[in-house]
Amino acid sequence: MRTALRIMFVAALTGGAIGAAAAPGGAGAVITNTVTIVKEVVGTPPVGTTFSVQVDCGGALPPPVTFDANGNLLSATATFHPGPTSTCTVTETASGGASSVGYGCVSAGNGPNGSDPDGSLVDCTSDNVVHFTDVIGDSATITVTNTFVPTPTTTTPPTTPAPQAVQAAPTFTG
């Protein structure tokens, strides 16, 4: 009986030590990739404008990210955590009547102690798409910019009537 207890104790202790050593970033920490959506608004949108942005990293789509007219987050989050080999596409689905919508993507590796020290395993493949290769712990920020150009107003000067022709008969004396 004592031998069996000793074996179980040593096995539990050894398994715990191996498990703690294998857990990245400490016990229970899960490392994922990160995609953050940022909203920029240029110009003045109509009062009450909201913007919706859809993030698609494959699989079931999360609820759209919503922002107010000033670019402030209205949703619970604008940060997503795709796994390795994921490609995430960001598309604005409600532009609030903007004159134009632009995207910008910036990707970054996770530093010298991570699985991608030089950031070469995460790539912005276009302005609104980021691809993570077989890596975890990398990040990308995709900025969605809405530009509102004021409608030009033209003012027409008041019209003045054209001068009228004067008709007069010449008078000759002599």
Q: Domain boundaries in the chain?
A: 46-149
Q: What does the pLDDT read at residue 21?
A: 33
Write the pLDDT tens digit of every residue in 128-158. 999 998 888 888 999 999 999 987 777 777 7
CA 131 to each of CA 7, 23, 67, 101, 115: distance values in angstroms, whole numbers, following the listed order: 47, 25, 24, 22, 15
Write the pLDDT tens digit of every residue in 116-125. 666 678 889 9
Residues 6+ apart with CB under 8 A from 31: 24, 25, 136, 137
Q: Is the pLDDT of residue 102 over 70?
A: yes
Write the pLDDT tens digit of every residue in 25-67. 445 567 788 999 999 999 999 999 999 999 999 988 999 999 9
Cβ-contact 68, 39 below 8 angstroms: no
Write the pLDDT tens digit of every residue in 160-170. 777 777 776 76
H helix runs in the chain, sequence order = 2-22
Statement: the pTM of the whole predicted model exceeds 0.75: no
Q: d(Cα 129, Cα 115) in Å, to the nearest integer?
A: 21
Cβ-contact 97, 46 below 8 angstroms: yes
